[in-house]
């Protein structure tokens, strides 16, 4: 088969959603004709759909190298930069896309939107104080009024099971929580987690069970299904949510408020790690900031952001399993004590390097050693890296999330690395199962899979930045 035929076959597979197979076709086409910019651009687009933004940038750059006047190369690279919230880099590429395709209305529109964003960022950077005050400052929550038409259970200074049951039903009915109660929950959660270590340690006693959940990404109705099928949090039913509970799905505020409420009700039985989407950059692009503003107000988002900063970065289960959102490190010498001593409250956001970024962003690879990140942030690590880390820290395995798995979970790296993902049919498009891990006092891992459940007709990413509409 010649290169063009392989490209056409790749396009057909792409249209069917078979992205990995499409990439193989584009790769074969490139091998036969490595000077064709279109082949790199098409593969870049497939990587974009897989959220492999680092690879997408590499291919778009190669397309530009082959044809410096190729507008789609700049367009693809701009989208990948925006997906990583790198608007200044994206703006340069959008402008070039317009330069070489002046009649492309979409490129022009996105270039203008991106330029407005960059101007806003520069303005905010210019006026920002060294340490802005807490968004909770100046709010007297106790003196706030509850709307007169509120007919739900009252929250009187203490979280209750009755209040949680009531607002779950209200959320299912499309209603919102009174702002007074939102602020109260966020204030209490922030205060609680600011006293917690960066590495939380959990034991599972004889009559208890711990359920480990991966990404839920604002899929509120699938979260309710997890509780319905596995049992709700209780004094004997512990839960650990391993980050990325907001963004993408359009019920992220509902998911976050429910998890936080259960944490306040059962502080010793509900555990939450921070993910790479509990960060400012991701929230600005993937919907959580927009959702907070649409359903509540901008201050609500800013307070949520402060709670995210306070979340622990990892959980150690029975001294056997380290649970963290992304993966392992660029150095073989990192220990559990390094995580314990890490000052996440001072660092606040993960940035582009360092131990915190690596914990939230890295991914496994099948090959030994370390490799460049397919995402454009962090790195990839092989089975030998996982083995060394587990042996150094006397662990059975590392449990992480951060990536879709078609079966909801995957055991890899010779059994020392487990990925669990708990958002079935991710973004209503992937068709994947969700999964959770059950752990009892023997510390054996048992996996439970589940399918997506119906939800109201609100599309994923409904509150996301318009710049992501390109994808």
Residue 471: the pLDDT is 47
Going from the C-alpha of 283 to that of each of 56, 390, 413, 461, the distances in angstroms are 21, 32, 31, 11
How far is 448 from 422, CA to CA, in rounded Å? 10
The verdict on residue 340 lying in a domain is: yes
Residues 175 and 54 in one domain: no
The pairing of beta strand 417-420 with beta strand 370-372: unpaired
Total number of domains constituting the chain: 2
Please indicate, yes or no, if residue 134 is contained in any of the structural domains: no
> Does residue 394 sit within a domain?
yes
Tokens of 151: 């007919």
Pair 94, 232 in one domain: no
Domain boundary among 127, 151, 178: 127
- Domain limit, last residue, from 99, 127, 155: 127
Same domain, 417 and 329: yes
Instruction: Clarify whether residues 196 and 288 are in a common domain.
Output: yes
319 and 188, same domain (yes or no): yes
* Domain of residue 50, residue span: 3-127
pLDDT at residue 435, rounded to an integer: 98
Instruction: Average pLDDT across each block of 10 residues of the chain; the chain has 471 residues. List them in order.
Output: 95 93 97 97 96 96 98 96 94 97 93 93 79 92 96 96 98 97 98 98 96 98 98 97 97 98 98 98 96 98 98 98 98 98 96 96 98 95 98 98 97 98 96 97 98 97 79 47
Is 265 inside a domain boundary? yes
For residues 246 and 162, state if they share a domain: yes
> Which residue, of 127, 152, 171, is where some domain finishes?
127
Residue pair 274/246 in contact by the 8 Å Cβ criterion: no
The DSSP call for residue 467 is G
Residue 145 domain-assigned (yes or no): yes
Task: Give the CATH number, domain containing residue 61.
Answer: 1.25.40.10
CA 14 to CA 45: how far, in whole Å?
A: 9
Residue 231 to residue 208: CA distance in whole angstroms: 12
CATH number for 236: 3.60.21.10
Quick check: is 217 catalytic?
Answer: no
- Please pick, among 277, 325, 413, 455, the residue that the annotation labels catalytic: 277
Distances, alpha carbon 397 to alpha carbons 276, 321, 326, 332, 393, in Å: 21, 5, 14, 16, 10
Q: Residue 469: what pLDDT?
A: 54
Whether residue 178 lies inside any domain: the answer is yes
Burial of 94 (0-12, 13-18, 19+ CB in 10 A): buried
Give the per-residue pLDDT at 1.
86
The DSSP symbol for 432 reads: P
Beta bridge partners of 417: 398, 412
Q: What is the pLDDT of residue 126?
A: 79
Q: Is residue 28 part of a domain?
A: yes
The answer on 149 and 121 residing in a single domain is no
- Same domain membership, residue 318 and residue 227: yes
Q: Do 223 and 255 meet the contact criterion of CB atoms below 8 Å apart?
A: yes
Instruction: Quote the pLDDT of residue 129.
Output: 65
Do 205 and 334 lie in one domain? The reply is yes
Do 120 and 269 lie in a common domain? no
Q: Are residues 111 and 160 in the same domain?
A: no
In a domain, 55, yes or no: yes
- 264 and 145 assigned to the same domain: yes
379-381 and 363-364 beta bridge pairing: parallel
């Amino acid at each position: 088969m010649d290169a063009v035929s392989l490209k056409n076959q790749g396009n057909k597979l792409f249209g069917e959603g078979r992205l990995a197979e499409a990439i193989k076709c584009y790769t074969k086409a490139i091998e036969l004709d490595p000077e064709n910019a279109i082949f790199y651009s098409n593969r870049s687009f497939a990587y974009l759909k897989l959220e492999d933004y680092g690879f997408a940038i590499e291919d778009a750059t190669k397309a530009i190298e082959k044809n410096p006047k190729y507008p789609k190369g700049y367009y693809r690279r701009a989208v990948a930069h925006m997906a990583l919230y790198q608007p200044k880099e994206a703006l340069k590429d959008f402008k070039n896309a317009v330069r070489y395709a002046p009649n492309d209305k979409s490129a022009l529109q996105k270039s203008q939107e991106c330029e407005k964003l960059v101007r806003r960022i520069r303005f905010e950077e210019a006026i920002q104080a060294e340490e802005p005050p807490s968004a909770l400052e100046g709010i007297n929550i106790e003196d706030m009024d509850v709307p007169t038409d509120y007919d739900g259970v009252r929250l009187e200074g203490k979280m209750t099971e009755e209040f949680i049951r009531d607002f779950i039903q209200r959320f299912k009915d499309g209603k919102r929580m009174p702002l007074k109660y939102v602020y109260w929950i966020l204030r209490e959660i922030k205060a609680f987690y600011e006293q917690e270590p960066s590495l939380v340690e959990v034991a599972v006693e004889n009559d208890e069970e711990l359920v480990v959940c991966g990404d839920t990404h604002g899929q509120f109705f699938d979260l309710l299904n997890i509780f319905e099928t596995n049992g709700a949090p209780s004094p004997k039913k512990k839960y650990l949510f391993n980050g990325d509970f907001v963004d993408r799905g359009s019920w992220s505020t509902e998911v976050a408020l429910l998890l936080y409420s259960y944490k306040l009700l059962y502080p010793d039985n509900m555990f939450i790690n921070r993910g790479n989407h509990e960060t400012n950059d991701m929230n600005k692009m993937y919907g959580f900031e927009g959702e907070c503003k649409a359903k509540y107000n901008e201050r609500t988002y800013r307070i949520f952001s402060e709670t995210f900063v306070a979340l622990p970065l990892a959980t150690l289960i029975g001294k056997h399993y380290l649970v963290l959102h992304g993966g392992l490190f660029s150095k073989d010498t990192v220990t559990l004590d390094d995580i314990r001593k890490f000052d996440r409250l001072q660092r606040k956001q993960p940035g582009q390097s360092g131990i915190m970024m690596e914990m939230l962003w890295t991914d496994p690879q099948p090959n030994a050693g370390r490799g460049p990140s397919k995402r454009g942030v962090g790195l990839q690590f092989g089975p030998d890296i996982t083995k060394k880390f587990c042996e150094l820290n006397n662990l059975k395995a590392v449990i992480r999330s951060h990536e879709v798995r078609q079966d909801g979970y995957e055991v890899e790296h010779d059994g020392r690395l487990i990925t669990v993902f708990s958002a079935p049919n991710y973004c209503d498009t992937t068709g994947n199962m969700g999964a959770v891990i059950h752990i009892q006092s023997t510390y054996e891992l048992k996996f439970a899979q589940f399918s997506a459940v119906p939800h109201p007709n609100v599309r994923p990413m409904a509150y996301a930045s318009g710049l992501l509409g390109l994808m």
